[in-house]
């Protein structure tokens, strides 16, 4: 006889496990199905362990530049195995934390490969054991995987995806990073700080193409200053693993093909949603290039089937998945008769993006160019970190904050930052957008001194010709 639930969540990443917790809080009987490790890719192989690696690289960078702070460190070195081991232990600690949260919230955990076999039906296969589950509602939260090059599959030895790059078999000496989104730039930053010679190849006309153009330009200058080679408008024609490394053929903007050799290559050209072979086709769930189509609450076109996170398309971010999980759980509870929940549809315009490289990048809302394309007349403010006392004291005076306002209403259309700790600071502007704050409230807000966040205030003032420290 099948185990019966109000809700089954297929996938336990930051969208799935959060959805399960919220549904349980609302009194639903919930099960979660996971084929690998609780916490999904983000916690085990993505967001969290990469930040542990980047922290090690940051500390190592400060060690090698100790003299700038009046300090002395003799012959700084590192053990790659120990750096990786620390990262894996951080992931393991959080994986155990998710297990604890499932137990605390009385969420039944079913380990194995889950397949939707019919309306409200799901089977879980673990080895030679099959468990049948039924539920009024099912949330698909199966995430995504790294996209391979069609002509050069990742082998884990010389050609890596992000997963291989987190547990490297050896330290690269000369690294090729293919793709300059957040994942590519973060790994480029990590390995560059650890001593590798890094080249980034990007097909488009600038790196980090989803960011504001001024941020992309600044990052190009900074990463080049740090010793990286940046090749934009450059396509990869061929990538071949050899006994000693990889050989790459790259077609530049002039049409000429250049061949170069590297010790390793990281492929960071996007993701593929995990929507195959889980029963969606049989039910007639609508997809677009593999991504499940949903409304703002996570509903698909099939009654009782919901989807959240990377399987639903851009932006492919953990915090977007978590928020979608909460929305979907509340909408399901409402559909089951809970009159005390009032979910709101997801507003993707208020989702922040963060890149944890050195320097960091963070943004929310419209870029200047996108705001103009949308028909807004804009006021733009920009404030450099060189005018901020805390940034100078930290030795992190390179960076800036840029804000974009609607000239007619004062609405904060977008904010863009590059520099130290901006991934923490961006939340101030996210809250401001969520509260529909205008320039008037931001100007009247008191920012603590000395903090780098004062640059946020100055950027707002600058948009209206009132900056105080430039």
Instruction: Give the pLDDT mean for 106-131.
Output: 95
Nearest Cα neighbor of 292 from 318, 321, 333 is 321
Query: Which helix (H) or strand (E) is 325 found in, with range?
Result: helix 318-335
Instruction: Note the pLDDT tens digit of each residue in 381-430.
Output: 999 999 999 999 999 999 999 999 999 999 999 999 999 999 999 999 99
Residue 399 annotated as part of some ligand binding site: no
Q: What pLDDT, on the 0 to 100 scale, is given for residue 48?
A: 92
C-alpha triplet 440, 443, 445: angle, nearest 5°: 110
Query: Could you give the residue range(s) of every CATH 3.30.390.30 domain in the chain?
Result: 359-463
Q: What is the pTM of this model?
A: 0.95
Active site residue 449: yes
Q: Percentage of residues in the chain with pLDDT exceeding 70?
A: 100
Instruction: Note the pLDDT tens digit of each residue in 231-289.
Output: 999 999 999 999 899 999 999 999 999 999 999 999 999 999 999 999 999 999 999 99
Q: What pLDDT, on the 0 to 100 scale, is given for residue 279?
A: 95
Residue 465 annotated as part of some ligand binding site: no
Residue 132 annotated as part of some ligand binding site: no
List of residues 6+ apart from 91 with CB closer than 8 A? 39, 43, 44, 45, 48, 49, 52
Distance CA 37, CA 126 (A): 13
Instruction: Note the pLDDT tens digit of each residue in 285-313.
Output: 999 999 999 999 999 999 999 999 999 99
Q: What pLDDT, on the 0 to 100 scale, is given for residue 254?
A: 94
Asked if 433 and 364 count as a contact pair (C-beta separation under 8 A), the reply is yes
Residue 452 annotated as part of some ligand binding site: no
pLDDT above 70 (res 1): no
Q: What pLDDT, on the 0 to 100 scale, is given for residue 46?
A: 85
Instruction: Give the pLDDT mean for 424-442.
Output: 97
Query: Could you give the residue range(s) of every CATH 3.50.50.60 domain in the chain?
Result: 3-145+272-336, 159-269
Convert 49-79 into a string of H (helix), E (strand) and C (coil).
Answer: HHHHHHHHHHHHHHHHCHHHHCCCCCCCCCC
Instruction: Note the pLDDT tens digit of each residue in 124-162.
Output: 999 999 999 999 999 999 999 999 999 999 999 999 999
Instruction: Note the pLDDT tens digit of each residue in 160-173.
Output: 999 999 999 899 99
Instruction: Note the pLDDT tens digit of each residue in 180-202.
Output: 999 999 999 999 999 999 999 99
Instruction: Give the pLDDT mean for 45-56.
Output: 93
Residue 266 annotated as part of some ligand binding site: no
Token reading at 63: 């060690």
What would the CATH number be for the domain defined by 159-269? Answer: 3.50.50.60
List of residues 6+ apart from 27 with CB closer than 8 A? 333, 338
Residue 8 annotated as part of some ligand binding site: no
Residue 182 annotated as part of some ligand binding site: yes
Q: Exactly one of 342, 449, 457, 469 is catalytic; which is it?
A: 449
Higher pLDDT pick, 37 / 404: 404
Q: Which class in CATH covers the domain with range 3-145+272-336?
A: alpha beta
257 pairs with which residues across the strands?
Answer: 251
Asked if 308 and 32 count as a contact pair (C-beta separation under 8 A), the reply is no
Fold of 359-463: Enolase-like; domain 1 (3.30.390)
Residue 51 annotated as part of some ligand binding site: yes
Residue 340 annotated as part of some ligand binding site: no
């Amino acid at each position: 006889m099948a185990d019966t639930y109000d809700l089954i969540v297929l996938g336990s990443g930051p969208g799935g496990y959060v959805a399960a917790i919220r549904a349980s809080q609302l009194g639903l009987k919930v099960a979660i199905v996971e084929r690998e490790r609780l916490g999904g890719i983000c916690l085990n192989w993505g967001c969290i362990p990469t930040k542990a690696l980047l922290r090690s690289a940051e500390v190592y960078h400060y060690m090698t530049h100790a003299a700038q702070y009046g300090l002395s460190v003799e012959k700084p070195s590192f053990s790659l195995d120990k750096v990786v081991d620390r990262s894996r232990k951080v992931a393991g600690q959080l994986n155990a934390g998710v297990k604890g949260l499932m137990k605390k919230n009385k969420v039944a955990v079913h380990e194995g490969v889950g397949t939707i076999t019919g309306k409200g039906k799901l089977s879980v296969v673990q080895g030679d054991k099959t468990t049948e589950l039924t539920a009024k509602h099912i949330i698909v939260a199966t995430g995504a995987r790294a996209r391979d090059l069609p002509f050069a599959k990742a082998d884990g030895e010389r050609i890596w995806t992000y997963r291989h790059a987190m547990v490297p078999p050896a330290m690269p000496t000369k690294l090729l990073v293919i793709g300059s989104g957040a994942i590519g730039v973060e790994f480029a930053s990590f390995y560059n700080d650890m001593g590798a010679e890094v080249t980034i190849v990007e097909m488009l006309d600038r790196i980090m193409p989803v960011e504001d153009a001024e941020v992309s330009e600044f990052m190009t200058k900074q990463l080049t200053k740090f010793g990286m080679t940046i090749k934009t408008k450059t396509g990869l024609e061929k990538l071949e693993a050899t006994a000693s490394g990889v050989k790459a053929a790259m077609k530049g903007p002039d049409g000429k093909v250049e061949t170069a050799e590297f010790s390793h290559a990281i492929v960071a050209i996007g993701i593929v949603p995990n929507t195959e072979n889980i029963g969606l086709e049989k039910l007639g769930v609508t997809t677009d290039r593999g991504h499940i189509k949903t409304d703002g609450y996570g509903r698909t076109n099939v009654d009782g089937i919901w989807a959240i996170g990377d399987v639903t398309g851009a932006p492919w971010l953990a915090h977007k998945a978590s928020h979608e999980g909460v929305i979907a759980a509340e909408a399901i509870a409402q559909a089951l008769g809970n009159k005390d929940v009032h979910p709101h549809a997801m507003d993707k315009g208020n989702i922040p993006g963060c890149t944890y490289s050195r320097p960091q990048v963070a943004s929310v809302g419209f870029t200047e160019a996108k705001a103009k394309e949308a028909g807004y007349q804009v006021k733009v403010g920009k404030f450099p970190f060189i005018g901020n006392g805390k940034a100078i004291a930290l030795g992190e005076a390179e960076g800036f904050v840029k804000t974009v306002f609607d000239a007619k209403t004062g609405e904060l259309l977008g904010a863009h930052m590059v520099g130290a700790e901006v991934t923490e600071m961006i939340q101030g502007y996210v809250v401001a957008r969520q509260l529909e704050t205008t320039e008037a409230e931001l100007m009247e807000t008191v920012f603590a001194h000395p903090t780098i966040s004062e640059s946020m205030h100055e950027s707002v003032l600058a948009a209206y010709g009132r900056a105080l420290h430039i």
